Structure 1
Amino acid sequence: MTDPNGGREGRRFSDEELQDLVASTDSGARDPLNRNVALLISGLALLWSLFQLWIAQPQLWFGQYLPVMNSSQTRPIHLTFALLLAFMAYPALKSSPRHHIPILDWGLALTAGGTAFYIFWFSDTLAMTARSGLPTQAQVIVGAIGLLCLLEASRRALGPALTIVGSLFILYGYMGQGWLIPDLIAHEGISFTGLMNALWLDTAGVFGIPLGVSTAFVFLFVLFGSLLDKAGAGNYFIKLAFAGLGHLRGGPAKAAVVGSAMTGLISGSSIANVVTTGTFTIPLMKRVGFTSEQAGSVEVASSVNGQIMPPVMGAAAFLMVEFIGISYLEVIKHAFIPAVISYIALIYIVHLEALKKDMPALGEAKSFTGMLVKFFIGFAVAGAGFTVLIYAVGALRAAAPALTGPVMMTVLGAVYLWLVAIAARRPDLEVDDPNAKEIKLPTVGEVYATGLHYVLPIVVLVWFLMVERQSPAKSAFYATSLMLFIIITQRPLKALFRGQGAQLLAEFKGGFDDLIAGLIAGARNMIGIGVATAAAGIIVAIVTKTPIGTELAGLVEQLSGGILILMLVFVGLFSLILGMGLPTTANYIVVSSLMASVVVTLGAQEGLIVPLIAAHLFVFYFGIMADVTPPVGLASFAAAAVSGGDPIRTGFTAFFYSLRTVALPFLFIFNPALILYGVDLGTWAGIGQAVFIFVIATFAMLLFAAATQGYFLAKSRLYESAALLLVAFTLFVPNVWLDMVQPPFRDVPPAGFEEAVAAAQEGDRLRLLIEWPDFNSGDMTSTTLVMQIEGAGSAAERIDASGLLLYPEDDVVRLDEPMFGTDTAERLSDFDFYADTPVQLAAVQVPVNQMPAQIFFFPALLLLGLVILLQRRRQTKPAF
C-alpha cells in the first residue's frame, strides 16, 4: 500500500500502542491488574523520588535535623530502587505477562535489590575488607550475583546492546588474551575475585562516577522535567511553537523542530520526544505535503537534537563535569553554539523542503522574515530584562545583604501570582486532534499568556546555574522545589481567580494528585537511566584496569594509516557503532570512556592539539546519531510507528537531515573557537567575539544545509552545491586555509629550547614535539605537548613550573620523568622513561604572528555572490 505522497506506507500504531512503545523504553510496560501490586510499584517509585529530594536538601534550614548521607551510601540505595523497579516494571520478554508479576521476577527483584542494598548496609565492613584488597568469599558471591542481575535488568530496560557490551568487557577483563583478543590490547587477565571486587564491591566500578552522577544530578533534572510535563508545560510548548510557526510555509515541520527543542528541556529521551510531539506534528506535516518518511525524519532529527541541547544534554552535561574536570557552566558554554546552530539549520532544511515542493501554509500564510524579526526582538527584550534583574539583585545584595533572600522570594511569589492570574483569564489549553477535518491554528497572543508561569522554574534553574554559580544539584533542587509548589497551587489559584471558590478543594486535590503522578512518573523514567549508568560503570572500570583504554589509539592509527582525517572518521564510526541501541546517558559513558582519549592522543601525534571537551563532544555527537541511523535507529522506528512510514527509509532520510550534526564535530575539532574554547565570556570583548562566532557559524551552517539539500534560491546545480560547501567550510574553519598559506609556528632546534622559553610572552604556548620508543614495537613514535608560558620569571623558573626535567646531551635534549603532581606528568604518564632509548625533545615550535584568518572570508563571500547571481536568474519563488 502507498500513501498519496509517494512514500511506502507501513503500519501506523494506535495511541495505545504508541504509549506502550514509550513505556516499554522509558518507564516499563508492565501494568498489573492487582491493585496492591500496582500500588507497591507506584509506592516504590514515589519513595525513590522522596529519597532523592531528601538527599538533595542538606543546605536548607531543616537540613540540620536530618541525617546526611555520603556518596558511598546514596549510590547503592539509588541502584536498589532502580533494580527493584526494573524487574517489577519491565517484562522479561515481549511474550511475558504484563498484567501480573511472575514469581521469578519477584525473586529476581528481591535478589537484585538485596545485592545493591548489601553495599549500603555493609559499607563499613567493605571499607575494611574488599576495598582494602581483602574481599571475603561471601562478598565475592554477592558481587557475582549482583552483576548477573544488573546485566539482566539492563537487557530488560534498555535492550540487549548494553548487556552484550558489558558482558564482553567482563570476559575481556577476566581472560585478558585469546584468539579473539588482538595482541595490542591483550593482558594477563584479572582473577575472578579481583574482577568482582573491582566491578561490584569497590567504589570505582558499578558504584563509580556514572552512577554517582545519576544519583546526584540526573534524577533531579528528570524529576523536574516530569513535573513540568504533568503541570501542562509540554502541551503549552507545542501549542506555542505552532502558534508562532504553524502559519508559515511548511509550518508544521518548523513547529515540530522548535517544539521538540523546547520539550527537550522536559524529556531526556529522544524516543519519548518523538512520540510526544510527533503524534501531533507528523499528521500535520503530511497534510501540507511531506511524505510519511519525511515527516517522521523531521521529528527524529529534531528530537535527537534535543539530546545535544543544553542545559541537560541527556545527562551527558553532568557526566562531562566529572569526566573532564571542568565546571558545569563551562560545559554549557562549549555545547551551546553547536546545538543552537544545528537547530537553526534544521528549520532552514525544512523551509527548503517546503520551497522545493511549493507546500502551502496551514491557514493564512505569514512571513518567515517577520517571524524571525519578532523572535530576535523578543530574545533581545528577554535578555535585557534578565540583565536588569542581575544588576538589581546585585545592588540589593550590596545595600542590604540580609534582605536579599526574603525580598527575592517575595518578588518571585508575587510574579507567580500575577502570571497565574493572567493565565486564569483564558481557558486552559486542550490537546488538539491533528486528524480533525479543519485545523484552526492558535495565535501567539492566544497561547503565550496561558503558561508563562511554567517559565519561572526554568528561569530559577538558569539563575542559580549561571548567576549564583551554584552546583547543578543545588540549582535543580531549587527549581524542582518551585515546580512542586506550582503543580500543587496552580489549579486552586486559577479557580480562585476565576471566581470558582466552590471548586477550590477539588482543584487542590487535583493538584496534589498531579504532584504524586509527577513524582511517580519521574522515578519510573529514571529506571532505565539508573540501570544504564550502573551497567556502564562496568565498561569504565575495565577500561581503567586493562590496556584497552590506552592502546585503542594504536589500533585506530593502524587502521587509518596515520591520516588524521581518516582517524577521526574511524573514531566517529566506532562511536556510532558503540552507541547503537543505548540510551543517551549510557551511550555517552561508553563512547567517551573508549574513544575520547583516542581523539586527543591521535591529534597530538599528528600535531593537532584537541581540547578534551572537544573530543568528548565529538564522540557524544556521533554516539547519539545511533538513535537515528539504521539498522538500530530506535527514534526512527518510533517515528515510523507514528507516521506509518517505512522505518528504514525514515532512518536514512533522518540521517540525511542530520548531516549537519555529523559535520559539526569535525569542524570544532579543527576550529575549537566554534565551541568558544579560549573565549572569555567574562569580558565585553569576549562576549563580542562569541556573538561574532555565533553569527558566522549560523550563516555557514545555513549554507551547508542549502548545499546538502541541493536548493538555495533555486534548485542547485552540482557545481553550485560544491561552491556553497566550499564557502561554508571557509566560514567555519578559515584557519585551515591560513595555516596552508602562513604556517602558525616556526621550528626551533631542541638546543634552543631555553632561549625560546625566555623570549616567550606570558600566555604564549610553545609546542614541544616529543619522541619516545613504543612499548610494543620499540619503534620511535611522537606526540605534541603544549607548554603554557606562565609568570615573568627566568627560563629555568618557567621550565621548573611546567614540571619538565630536561638534560641536554650534545645535540639531543633528553627528558626525564616529569615532576610528580604536575600537568606534564599526567600527560606523559604512559611514557617509558627508563628504556634504553631515551625520551627526547625532537623539536620546539614557537608561535608566529599570523594575519587574521577572517581575511579568507572575502574570497568566500565573492564566491557566494557568484552563486547568488547564477541562481537569481532561475529563481521563481521568494527565498524566505
Structure 2
Amino acid sequence: MTNENDPKRPGPRRDDRPQDQMDAAAVEMEAAGRGNMNQSELDELVASSDTGARTPAGWVGRTILIVAFLWSLFQIWIASPLPYMVDFAILNDTETRSIHLAFAMFLAYLAYPAERTKVQFILALAVPVVLTLLFIEGADSGQAWWIVLIGAAVLLAIVAGSPKSWVPPWEWAMALISVFAALYIYIFYDDIATRVGAPINQDMIVAVAGMLLLLEVTRRALGPALMIVATFFLAYTFLGPYMPEIIAHKGNSLSEVVNHQWITTEGVFGIALGVSTSFVFLFVLFGALLDKAGAGNYFIQVAFSLMGHMRGGPAKAAVVSSAMTGLISGSSIANVVTTGTFTIPLMKKVGFSSEKAGAVEVASSVNGQIMPPVMGAAAFLMVEYVGIPYFDVVKHAFLPAAISYIALVYIVHLEALKAGMQGLPRPYEPGPWMRRVVGFVFGVLVISALSFAVYYGMGWIRPAFPETAGYIIFALLCLAYLGLLWVGSREEPLEIDDPNSEVTELPLPGPTVRSGLHFLLPVVVLVWALMVDRLSPGLSAFWATAFMIFILLTQRPLMVMMRGEDRHHNRQIGTALRAGLNDLVDGMIAGARNMIGIGIATATAGIIVGAVSQTGVGSALADVVEVLSGGNLLAILFLTAILSLILGMGLPTTANYIVVSALLAPVIVTLGQQNGLIVPLIAVHLFVFYFGIMADVTPPVGLASFAAAAVSGGDPIKTGVVAFFYSLRTAALPFLFIFNTDLLLIDVGWLQGIFVFITATLAMLLFAAATQGWFLARNNIFDTVALLLIAFTIFRPGFWMDMVAPPWEDLPPAQVEQALEQAPVGEPFRLSISGLDALGEPVDFRVQLEVPEGETGQERLDALGLTLVQNGDEVIIDNVAFDSPAADAGLDWDQQINLVRAPADAPSKYLMFIPAFLLLALVVWMQRRRNSTPGTGAPATAATA
C-alpha cells in the first residue's frame, strides 16, 4: 500500500539512518522522473484514486490524520475479542456498519476535492435535481419542502466549488451532516426497531439527505460512473410503471424506498457494507502495516535476486514482485506505482520498449487482485453472496490465479526471445545444475518437514495444554520471530537501488532472502488462522494485524541490539523505538485512507443491490439477456463479459463486482440450467470478477495503464492495448472454468488437482505462445491455429470426446426409477423439467442430482426427496420433501419430467490428449526445423534460452 504521507517503500531499518532515508527518496524521485512525472506527481495520481488528493496544512490536515487513525482503532476494536472480554462497547452488525460509513463519508468529504471539469460539473448538478424531483413525487407537502431544501443545499455546495488546498465551510457542513445521516440508525436504533416498515418524517428527511450526500461523495472519491449507475437504479425504483414492458414494475413510493435503502439493511447498510466493515478493512490495514514495515521493498528485492539473471529478468522479476505485493495490496494503481518506479526502468534497460515495459507492469499489478487471500476485497463478498466458507473461495480461486501469473512470466520470456534479450549479470558463478537441483529439493524437503512439524505440533499442544495453549503458541511464535530477526541482522539492510544507474550485478539471493524472513511470519499467521484453524476472516485478520503491530514496534530496536549498534550511542534504541511507533501510526493512517474509496463504493453499490431486490429487475433482466443472446449460453457469457468491462471502466473493482454479480450472476445460472449446463455459483461470480478487473487495463479508461505510462514515458493508450493482449490469458480463463469446473478444484481430489494444475498450466502456456506469435520460433498461421487447438483440447478434452462418445444416455421419463437403480452411487444424474416460474410463466430447465445410496430405484428416489406419479407416458412430481436434495435443486410439485439423462459408459475424456500431444510434437518439429535453417526463425541462441 502506498502511504500519502510517506510514499517511499521502506526497507528494513530505513529510518535507523536518516541519510539512507534521504538517499531512498532521491532514488525514487530519479526513477519516477524518467517517465516525465516526478514522485510527488505519481503519489498524487495514486492519492486521487485511492487515498484522497487533499491533505491541507495545519489543524485541518491533522484532523484528517487523527480521524483516519481513530477509524483504524475502531475497526481493530470491533474485530477483536476485547469487547466481549471487558463487556464494553459490544456492537451489532448494523451499528458497526453505521459507524463505518460515518468515518468513510467524513474522511471522503475532507480528503477528496470535487473535480471541476465541465462534464463532472454538469453531472454533479443533474443528479440531485433528478433525485429531488423523484423524491418530491412520492412525498407529501410537508416532506416536499424539506426535500427541496436539502436538494438546494447540495446544489449550492456543488456550485460553490471544492478547492484542493483547504476545506471550505460548506464542505464541513456536508461532512458533518453525512456523519449524522450515517449514524442515524445507530443513534435511533431502538426507536427504529419499533417502527420497521413505517418510516416517519424524520426518517425520510435523513434518508433523502443521506442518499444525496452519499452519491455526491461517490462522485468525488470514485468518479461519476458509480454515481450515475446508482442514480439510474434509484430512478428505476420510482419510475417502474413508465419503463418498457419487459422491465416494468409497479413502482415504489418514497416511504418504501427510504425504508428499504436507508432504514433497514437491505440497501446502503446491506451485505456489501457489512463485508467492508467486518473483513475488508482489517485486510487492507494489515497490508498497509506490512508495507510500512518494509515488506514491499523486500518482496521486490527478493524477486530481482532470484530472477534478474534470466532472459528479460527484470520483467519476470516485476511479475513475481507484483504477485507478492498483490498479496498485501488491493489497488492496481498503487501496485503499479509501488513496484513500477523500480521495475519499469530496469525493463527498459534490458531492451523492452516503454509501452511493453509499462504493459508488463500493468498486467502483473492488475492480476494482484485475483490473487488470494484478499482478491481486492472480492473474496469476502463471495463468502456472503455465494454462501460458502472463505477457505473454499480461496481454494477455488487459487489455481486460475497461479496459472495466470505463470503464463505472464512465460509471455515475458517469449518477448525476451523475440528480441534476443539477456538477463542482468549475476554476482556469482552458479554451480553445476545437479548441485542446484539437489539444493532446491533439499530446501523443499526442509520446508515440508518444518510445515509438518508445526502442523502436528499445534495439534499436540492444544489438547495437551487446553488452558495455556494460546500463551505457548504466542511464545513459540515470538521465538521464531527473534530467530528470523537474528538471521536478518547478520545481513546488510536492504536499500532501494537506483534503477536508472548502471547495473553491474544483482543482489545475492541468499542474503537478500534472509534479510527479511520475519516479514513472512504475519502472513503465515493469517494463512494459518484462515486455512487451518478456520477462524472467520475478520478474526484471522485481527490476529495477523496484532502480530504485525508487535513487529512494527519491536523490529527496529531489536535489530539495533542484535547488530550491537547501541554500543557507541545509547540513544539508538530510543530513536528506533520512536521510528517504529511512527511507522505504526503512519500505517494505521494509510490503511484507513486506503479504505475510504472501498467503504464509499460498497455503500453506494448497496443502493443498486437494494433496487434490484426491491423491484425484481433481476428476473426481468434474465428475459432481456435471453432475448439478446437467443438463449445461447456462450452469447450470454460474452454479453456479461462486455457489460463487466463497460461498468469496470468507471467503477472500482469491488463496486463492479457487487453490481454485476447482483444483476447477472443469477441470470447466467438460470439460463445455464435452461440450456443444459449446470454452472456452479462460485464459477459465475469468479467470471464476473475477472472481467471487472480487466477494466483497469482496457483503454480508454484503464487507470493502471495511465499510471504505468506516467512512469515509463510511453503512450498510455498503446500501453493499455499491449497490456490487454498480455491479459488475454486472464480473459480466457473465466470462459474455460465455466465449462470445465475442474480448474476451480470443484469436487477434485489432491492427485487429480495436481494433474489439473499441470495440464492447465501447459495449456495456458501454449495459448500464450499462440497469442504472442512465438513458440520456439516465430509462428506461422498453421502454428498459431494448431497451438490454439491444442490448448483448447488440453483445457477441455471432454468437448471432443462428447462428440465421439456422449457421456449421457437420454431415456424417457418413465424409466427414471430404473435409470436411478442402475446408475453408480455418487455420479451426476440429470433431469429435464418443465413447469411454472415464480410469476406463473412456463419455464423449461435442467437440474443435476447426485445418485444417492439405496438398494432399489424407489429407495434412491426417496433419498432424493422425490415422490412421482406416472400418467401414461407423463411423469409428474407429486411431492418434494422439505430440505431434501431435490428441493435444493429447485424441484417442486406439479412439475413434469421430460427427459432423463443418466450417466453412460464412455471412454476417458483424457484420451483426447493423445492426438493433442501428437499435433504438439509436429509443431515442435516444424519450428525446430525452421530454427536450424538460417533466416527462417529465431536465432539459435534464442531458441535454446
TM-score class, shorter: over 0.9
The residue number in structure 2 matching 1:14 is 38
Query: CA 1:799–1:781 in 2, change beyond 3 Å: closer, same or farther?
Result: same
The residue number in structure 1 matching 2:317 is 255
Secondary structure (helix, strand or coil) at the match of 1:575 reads: helix
The residue number in structure 1 matching 2:171 is 105
Superposition deviation, residue 66 in structure 1: 2.9
Superposition deviation, residue 55 in structure 1: 0.6
Superposition deviation, residue 26 in structure 1: 0.8
The residue number in structure 1 matching 2:414 is 352
Please give the per-residue CA displacement for 1:680-731, whole angstroms capped at 9, x wherever unaligned: xxxxxx2111111111111111111111111111111111111111111111
Secondary structure (helix, strand or coil) at the match of 1:553 reads: helix
Query: CA 1:381–1:270 in 2, change beyond 3 Å: closer, same or farther?
Result: farther
Give the one of 263, 280, 298 matched to 1:201. Answer: 263
Superposition deviation, residue 516 in structure 1: 0.7
Superposition deviation, residue 774 in structure 1: 7.1
Give the one of 227, 244, 256 matched to 2:289. Answer: 227
The residue number in structure 2 matching 1:328 is 390
- Counterpart CA distance in 2 for 1:676 and 1:208 is 30
Secondary structure (helix, strand or coil) at the match of 2:351 reads: coil
Give the one of 417, 422, 429 matched to 2:487. Answer: 422
The residue number in structure 1 matching 2:100 is 78
Q: What is the alpha-carbon root mean square deviation over aligned residues?
A: 2.4
Give the one of 177, 185, 190 matched to 1:119. Answer: 185
Query: CA 1:343–1:378 in 2, change beyond 3 Å: closer, same or farther?
Result: farther
Give the one of 814, 839, 842 matched to 1:751. Answer: 814
- Counterpart CA distance in 1 for 2:596 and 2:794 is 44
2:917 is equivalent to residue 861 of structure 1: yes
8 Å CA contact 2:215, 2:227 repeated in 1: yes
The residue number in structure 2 matching 1:682 is none
8 Å CA contact 1:618, 1:666 repeated in 2: yes
The residue number in structure 1 matching 2:278 is 216
Please give the per-residue CA displacement for 1:144-166, whole angstroms capped at 9, x wherever unaligned: 11111111111111111111111
Superposition deviation, residue 803 in structure 1: 4.5
The residue number in structure 1 matching 2:51 is 27
2:109 is equivalent to residue 87 of structure 1: yes
8 Å CA contact 1:10, 1:645 repeated in 2: no
Aligned amino acid, residue 83 of structure 1: M
Deviating 4+ runs (over 6 angstroms):
365-377, 774-777
Give the one of 348, 359, 383 matched to 1:297. Answer: 359
Superposition deviation, residue 781 in structure 1: 4.0
The residue number in structure 1 matching 2:692 is 623
The residue number in structure 2 matching 1:48 is 71
Residue pairs, 1:792-811, within 5 angstroms: 792=854, 795-796=857-858, 798-804=860-866, 806-811=868-873
Aligned amino acid, residue 511 of structure 1: G
Superposition deviation, residue 777 in structure 1: 11
- Counterpart CA distance in 2 for 1:378 and 1:109 is 55
- Counterpart CA distance in 2 for 1:205 and 1:825 is 29
- Unaligned runs of 5+ residues in structure 1 are 1-8, 680-685
Residue pairs, 1:431-830, within 5 angstroms: 431-438=496-503, 440-501=505-566, 502=570, 503-679=572-748, 686-772=749-835, 781-792=843-854, 795-796=857-858, 798-804=860-866, 806-815=868-877, 818-819=880-881, 821-822=883-884, 824-825=886-887, 828=890
Query: CA 1:115–1:62 in 2, change beyond 3 Å: closer, same or farther?
Result: closer
Aligned amino acid, residue 496 of structure 1: M
Aligned amino acid, residue 614 of structure 1: A
- Counterpart CA distance in 2 for 1:46 and 1:373 is 49
- Counterpart CA distance in 1 for 2:464 and 2:794 is 47
Aligned amino acid, residue 90 of structure 2: V
- Counterpart CA distance in 2 for 1:439 and 1:807 is 82
- Counterpart CA distance in 1 for 2:559 and 2:607 is 50
8 Å CA contact 1:334, 1:676 repeated in 2: yes
Please give the per-residue CA displacement for 1:748-789, whole angstroms capped at 9, x wherever unaligned: 2112223333444432322110123578996x5421111233
2:457 is equivalent to residue 392 of structure 1: yes
Aligned amino acid, residue 639 of structure 1: A
Superposition deviation, residue 428 in structure 1: 2.1
Superposition deviation, residue 849 in structure 1: 2.6
8 Å CA contact 2:198, 2:255 repeated in 1: no
Aligned amino acid, residue 333 of structure 2: I
- Counterpart CA distance in 2 for 1:98 and 1:842 is 66
Superposition deviation, residue 735 in structure 1: 1.2
Superposition deviation, residue 62 in structure 1: 7.3
8 Å CA contact 2:240, 2:251 repeated in 1: yes
Query: CA 1:879–1:581 in 2, change beyond 3 Å: closer, same or farther?
Result: farther
8 Å CA contact 2:77, 2:83 repeated in 1: no
**Larger CA deviation: 336-345 vs 576-585:** 576-585
Aligned amino acid, residue 200 of structure 2: T
- Counterpart CA distance in 2 for 1:116 and 1:368 is 64
- Counterpart CA distance in 2 for 1:144 and 1:801 is 52
Superposition deviation, residue 642 in structure 1: 1.4
- Counterpart CA distance in 1 for 2:245 and 2:87 is 57
The residue number in structure 2 matching 1:171 is 235
Superposition deviation, residue 584 in structure 1: 1.7
Secondary structure (helix, strand or coil) at the match of 2:42 reads: helix
Aligned amino acid, residue 376 of structure 2: G
Please give the per-residue CA displacement for 1:116-159, whole angstroms capped at 9, x wherever unaligned: 01111111111111xx2111111011111111111111111111
The residue number in structure 1 matching 2:339 is 277
Please give the per-residue CA displacement for 1:401-459, whole angstroms capped at 9, x wherever unaligned: 44533332221111111111222222322222212244542121231111110000001
**Larger CA deviation: 728-737 vs 805-814:** 805-814
- Counterpart CA distance in 2 for 1:580 and 1:369 is 50
8 Å CA contact 1:770, 1:840 repeated in 2: yes
Secondary structure (helix, strand or coil) at the match of 1:542 reads: helix
- Unaligned runs of 5+ residues in structure 2 are 1-32, 118-161, 932-939
The residue number in structure 1 matching 2:201 is 137
Aligned amino acid, residue 860 of structure 1: A
- Counterpart CA distance in 2 for 1:847 and 1:102 is 70
Secondary structure (helix, strand or coil) at the match of 1:844 reads: strand
Aligned amino acid, residue 453 of structure 2: V
Aligned length: 853
Query: CA 1:512–1:250 in 2, change beyond 3 Å: closer, same or farther?
Result: same
Q: TM-score, normalised by structure 1?
A: 0.93
- Counterpart CA distance in 1 for 2:881 and 2:252 is 31
Secondary structure (helix, strand or coil) at the match of 1:846 reads: strand
Please give the per-residue CA displacement for 1:805-854, whole angstroms capped at 9, x wherever unaligned: 5433322223468555556546549x9x8xxxx64211111112322111
Secondary structure (helix, strand or coil) at the match of 2:901 reads: strand
The residue number in structure 1 matching 2:26 is none
Query: CA 1:631–1:824 in 2, change beyond 3 Å: closer, same or farther?
Result: farther
2:60 is equivalent to residue 37 of structure 1: yes
The residue number in structure 1 matching 2:897 is 841
8 Å CA contact 2:407, 2:765 repeated in 1: yes
- Counterpart CA distance in 1 for 2:439 and 2:789 is 32
Secondary structure (helix, strand or coil) at the match of 1:784 reads: strand
Query: CA 1:285–1:236 in 2, change beyond 3 Å: closer, same or farther?
Result: same
Query: CA 1:380–1:873 in 2, change beyond 3 Å: closer, same or farther?
Result: farther
8 Å CA contact 2:249, 2:615 repeated in 1: yes
Query: CA 1:775–1:397 in 2, change beyond 3 Å: closer, same or farther?
Result: closer
